[in-house]
Chains A and B, each alone.
Chain A
Amino acid sequence: MGYGMVIDQQLCVGCAACTIACKIENNTPVGINWCDKITRTTGKFPDVRYEYISTMCNHCDNAPCVAACPTQAMHKDRQTGLTLHDPKKCIGCKACIVGCPYGVISVNWERPHRHWAQRDRLAEGCFSPREMVEESGGEGSPHGNPERGTTYPVVRPAGTVEKCTFCDHRLAQGLAPACVDACPSGARQFGDIDDPNSEVSKLVARHGGQGLREHLGTRPRVIYIRDYKPQRRFEPARPAGEGQGA
């Protein structure tokens, strides 16, 4: 048993709903995105190609971040295949960040959401940021999700790192990660990628596919299938002579 995600590049429209859903679900602070993107523009006009690759922790089987961590704060959960982080053990040495070849771990250089602690009101009669947090009952920020707190602190401690957990708190409830549920085009599929009969394994078997920087031997659990290829090119018929001259 080991969780994995398949992202179908043919179906992904680059809307970033996954990024926003992750941000809300996991209460990530300003400047930290557990789910983000790599974009690539290649070719020469008019044959240019733009790629949008949704990216997050790959929960590598052979995770360099885990090997580098001196305190086992970054560790593998052998039952689920997830790469998880224990902030109580984290000393903030950042070896995991230097070790991860995907750039998906972030540091809380300062106390997260500290702007929400301000008591100053912009104008008389308004809520101050602090009052908004108190009124909403959120932790750290008004949108602090209490369910996140069942497996990982809603507000992570300053001086420690954080990254995607594949929404382990949702998996424990039998739900898919928030990014998977939010994807409007069904480009993200999630399941037991170690089981050859699971949907995700069948997708990989049907289309091939690979993880990012696989040549490094990290054995990522996020697999990208199919390159985006335009299926139908819309070419409006133009009446002869239109658009010529000026």
Chain B
Amino acid sequence: MNSNVSFRDFATPTWILIAVGLVAGGAVGLYEMFFGHLFATNNALVWTLPLVVYIFLALMSTGVSLVLAYGLIMKDASITQHTRPLLIMAIGLLLGGFTALATELGSVLNLVWILLSPNLSSPIWWMGALYSVELVLLIVKLVMDLKGRHGVFDMPLAWGTLVIAAAAAITIGAVFGTVIGRPDYHGAFLSIVTLVSALVSGTAAIVLLRPQSALTETAGRIFRQTALLFAALILMRVAYEAHSTVAGMLGWASIAMLAPFLIAAVLFTLAPRLLSLLGILGVLWVQYSFIITGQLVSLGQTAHWYGAVQSYQPNLAEVLVLVLGIAVAAALIKLGEQFLIERRPAA
């Protein structure tokens, strides 16, 4: 525990920005949960930017967990040296995602039924269960690290996190991939997209938020490889959509989506943090595109109400949920860094 934290540590531009984000986004979140409806949704387009924010942050957290688990299993010192900050980062990002999700759920108090009346055929149930277990594992690891308890449990916990995190990312894809009658969602491909995008955004977040030479080198290497893999996946999807004759398929992939990943992977060494940020924005673009596009074709009677194909632009309230999710994650990461990581005096 770091006991040298003072008020001055919070009087920084970063904390002021975080506070503004928490207040503005928090106001929207509370209003949406308890008073009225602000989001640009309707009965045919129900999952909009707030859900994208949850998936974006949860997958980024998954990516960080996967890198950490890999480092612990492979005994890669460039990663294991940063175990605590990486745990804090993964927990902060996941809780930021959960915050965005809470604004999106209609009835948060009824969440108890997830435990009392689980439906094992529901990918959403599995997603919730896996991410809850993932959060518990991360917290257990953090507590053990804080108490300096290392030993026999380290390896099983690392393997557990690896398996749970990978399964959670795949399950997010299955939430969409198991849907029938919506051609832009259907298929196992989306689980591959979510798993790889977790790795791209997670490694990019490590490079962006924890710029330490050896760690940047390791995480940067994985980032470049997975960014190229992601670009290849999107290219495959573009080719598939171009040749698809499936009725009702709009197509969510475009050639332009390759650019952020190719640029970031090829030019990475020139400006690692800037290009990591580009990779993160690219991932957000892809996730936003597939989640929204899958709902744009109105089904059945909803075509009468909203037109055969809808268009969607996030409104200010939804953008503020994006701000809220990022602000919660940033606040938790900063708090963790300030309170739980000993600062060494400058040499």
Contacts and interface: CB of A to CB of B under 8 A. Distances in A.
Interface in A68-87: 68-73
Q: Which of B106, B108, B128, B305 has the most chain A CB atoms closer than 10 A to its own CB?
A: B106
A33 B43 CA distance: 11
A154 to B, nearest CB: 18
A160 B117 contact: no
B298 A91 contact: no
Interface in B36-85: 36-37, 41, 43-44, 46-47
B52 to A, nearest CB: 14
B122 A95 contact: yes
Q: What is the size category of the interface that chain A forms with chain B? A: 35 or more
A73 B113 contact: yes
Interface of A: 31-33, 36-39, 55, 64, 67-73, 88-95, 97-110, 157-160, 212-213, 216-218
Contacts of B305: 31
Interface residues of B, number: 41
Given A67-B122, A70-B114, A91-B114, A110 B36 contact: yes
A91 B111 contact: yes
A197 B220 CA distance: 70
Given A98-B182, A101-B180, A159 B105 contact: yes
A98 B110 contact: no
Interface of B: 36-37, 41, 43-44, 46-47, 105-108, 110-111, 113-114, 117-119, 121-125, 128, 175, 178-182, 185, 294-295, 298-305
Contacts of A92: 105-107, 110
Contacts of B106: 90-94, 107-109, 158-160
A2 B119 CA distance: 23
Contacts of B128: 70
7 contacts: A68-B179, A70-B122, A70-B124, A89-B110, A92-B107, A102-B300, A218-B180
A68 B120 CA distance: 9
Chain B residues touching A, majority SS: loop
Contacts of A68: 122-124, 178-179
Contact of B46 (A98, A101, A110): A98
Q: Which of A32, A70, A157, A212 has the most chain B CB atoms closer than 10 A to its own CB?
A: A70
A150 B76 CA distance: 63
Contacts of A55: 300-301
A216 B118 CA distance: 25
A109 B117 CA distance: 24
A91 B110 contact: yes
A72 to B, nearest CB: 5
A198 B119 CA distance: 34
Nearest to B303: A38
A224 to B, nearest CB: 13
Q: Which of B117, B118, B294 has the most chain A CB atoms closer than 10 A to its own CB?
A: B117
Contact of B300 (A67, A103, A110, A157): A103
A69 B180 contact: no
Nearest to B180: A216
Contacts of B37: 109-110
B43 A70 contact: no
Nearest to B41: A109
